Amino acid sequence: QVQLVQSGAEVKKPGASVTVSCKASGYTFTGYYMHWVRQAPGQGLEWMGWINPNSGVTNHAQKFQGRVTMTRDTSISTAYMDLTRLRSDDTAVYYCARQYSSGLYFFDYWGQGTLVTVSS
Amino acid sequence: QSALTQPASVSGSPGQSITISCTGTSSDVGGYTLVSWYQQHPGKAPKLMIYEVNKRPSGLSDRFSGSKSGNTASLTISGLQAEDEADYYCCSYVRSNTVVFGGGTKLTVL
């Protein structure tokens, strides 16, 4: 069965960087785009971007320009999301989510979420 | 890209039907059939409920249905049940291979 298992919670200071991982299993990792979505406490879902695990090509929301990097390691079926220059408003649960199919931008499987807390 | 507009909350009694709207623009909801809906219970990851405006994932109850008219998509839940109480989010494809979510709607089953 398809599973996306994310890394554990992180506590970071403002200005630091964080890396969240998402290990996929139960399907061909390189066959499906992986997206990242975050949710601040008590707030809604916010789309961050995607990576094509096959090519490594990425795309992200303009809001995160210059701060977010999405990578993957196909040998271990794992996607990564790096966010730099953290601010307090980056405190959120970060989810990875598998895109259903090429060209069909919706998400059929989600990771369990990773809480990133940014606090001095 | 601004978030799609959803009502903050809706409510209904068990057995009733409710509809949640999701309003965007011709650049997102109105321009594509790539609208999806997600259910999220507290502390849980979102769950896909509707995709491509009105399609249900395999195994999902037919009490959930979707539609779209112009720049507004809608999710209808019929025969409300207590377990339907959750937050619901719409999502749409936007130009340049990006995506935008709605602000979310809290459904209360009275």
pLDDT of residue A104: 85
Residue with tokens 């630091």: A16
pLDDT of residue A102: 83
Beta strand extents in chain B (DSSP E only): 9-12, 18-23, 35-40, 47-50, 64-69, 72-77, 86-94, 98-101, 105-109
CA A26 to chain B, closest CA, distance in angstroms equals 18
For A42: left if phi > 0, alpha if psi spans -120 to 50, otherwise beta; the answer is: left
Percentage with pLDDT > 90 across chain A = 96
Strand partners, A4: A24
pLDDT of residue B44: 97
pLDDT of residue B15: 96
CB crowding B26-42: b at 16 or more within 10 Å, else e: eebbbebebbbbbbbee
Q: What would the mean pLDDT of B27-33 be, rounded to a whole number?
A: 94
pLDDT tens column, A100-110: 988 888 999 99
Whether pLDDT at B98 is above 80: yes
pLDDT of residue A14: 97
Dist. CA A50–CA B94, nearest whole Å: 14
pLDDT of residue A119: 96
Closest partner residue to A106 among B34, B103, B104, by Cβ?
B34
pLDDT tens column, B5-24: 999 999 999 999 999 999 99
* B101 with A107: Cβ contact below 8 A: no
Closest CA to B74 of B8, B42, B32, B29: B29
* B46 with A104: Cβ contact below 8 A: no
pLDDT tens column, A52-68: 999 999 999 999 999 99
In sequence order, which residues have a C-beta less than 8 Å from that of residue A27 and are 6 or more positions away? A2, A98
Count of beta carbons in the 10 Å neighbourhood of residue B20: 23
Whether pLDDT at B1 is above 80: no
* B3 with A59: Cβ contact below 8 A: no
The pLDDT averaged over each successive group of 10 residues in chain A (120 residues) is 97 98 98 97 96 96 95 98 98 97 90 97
pLDDT of residue A31: 95
CA A40 to chain B, closest CA, distance in angstroms equals 12
